[in-house]
Amino acid sequence: MVISQLVRETAKRLSENPLFEAEQMVMAVCNLDRTELVLKGRNEASEEEKEKVNDMVLRRLKGEPLQYIIGECEFMSLKFYTERGVLIPRSDTETLVEKILDFTDENKEYKVLDICTGTGCIGISIANYRKKAEVKLLDISDIAINLAKRNIILNNVNDRVFAEKEDILKDYPKDKYDIIVSNPPYIESDVIDTLQVEVKDYEPHLALDGGKDGLIFYRRIADIAPKMLNVGGILAFEIGYNQGSKVLEIMKKSFYNIQIIKDLCGNDRVVIGIRR
């Protein structure tokens, strides 16, 4: 069977974005980029390659997210490695990065802290688009920190981005920053079991669970952020669609000019404020 045929046959077995997912699987297995997939469409696929694609399809049909199966994804037009145990970067989260880019200037230096960094997608993207930013990534999970370190190297920002393990509910860095960003766990504990199979059965609950009311991390970070931010520094959170007014209320004590920003679907997605 030739490669283009393998893509078509694989697509027939898949249900969500079948052609896209089939192409992604074949590209990963045969080690091809999009152009090569077209150019080498008439090359024969080996038995081993067909077998590997078949295994991927079986995993996908059980509900495992494509990004864990192929081990990578795209975020802010950059490539990130993904791995079980670490939340998959979401396109919604690009709203948070875009907002930080709006607030910053290409030619200025910034010290940035990304709390609950996961893959590192937020902090690494900021470093990529703001070449003078120095970024620290924090996460409680060893798997996340190791993955974030691989993503730092993948994106060639290892001179300015550093990843460290930290339990932010217990401790915090003693350095000063200009910008603190976080997409923390924010789902209410009781809601997690109602989420789709891809999320509740495959993604780490540690990265999702924001406690009984979903707000534990917002309270904690809004409380410690003023100690780490220079005056006029920025705190920006990703939030759930129904958390805007609650997080705004939490931030009021130490922040002003607080804005709630919507994502491309029209849901409240980011809250950003300036330290008093």
> Minimum CB separation from ligand GLN for residue 186, in Å?
7
Question: 41 or 81: whose CB is closer to ligand GLN?
Answer: 81
What single letter denotes the amino acid at residue 30?
C
Residue recorded with tokens 């809004």: 222
Q: How many CA atoms lie within 13 A of 140 on its CB side?
A: 13
Q: For residues 152 and 207, which CB has a smaller minimum distance to ligand GLN in the complex? A: 207
- Smallest separation (angstroms) from ligand GLN to the CB of 21: 21
Choice between 143 and 224, CB closer to ligand GLN: 143
Minimum CB separation from ligand GLN for residue 68, in Å? 14
- Looking at residue 231, its amino acid is V
Q: Shortest distance, CB of residue 259 to ligand GLN, whole angstroms?
A: 19
Q: Based on the number of CB atoms within 10 Å of its own CB, is 159 exposed (0-12), middle (13-18) or buried (19 or more)?
A: exposed
The smaller minimum CB distance to ligand GLN, of residues 3 and 136, is found at 136
Sign of the torsion formed by the C-alpha atoms of 237, 239, 242 and 247: negative
**Contact indicator for 191, 58 with CB cutoff of 8 Å:** no
Q: Between 57 and 172, whose beta carbon lies closer to ligand GLN?
A: 172
- The residue number whose beta carbon is nearest to ligand GLN equals 118
For the stretch 189-217, what's the b/e string if a residue is b when 16 or more beta carbons lie within 10 angstroms of its beta carbon? Answer: beebeeeeebbbebbbebbbbbbeebbbb
CB of 275 to ligand GLN, least distance (A): 21
- Which among 159, 156, 168, 72 has a CA at the least distance from the CA of 119? 72
The residues that touch ligand GLN, with contacts defined as CB under 6 A, are: 87, 89, 93, 116-119, 121-122, 183-185, 207
Nearer to ligand GLN, 26 or 130 (CB): 130
Is residue 172 within 8 A of residue 228, CB to CB? The reply is: yes
Tell the smallest beta-carbon distance from residue 205 to ligand GLN (Å).
10
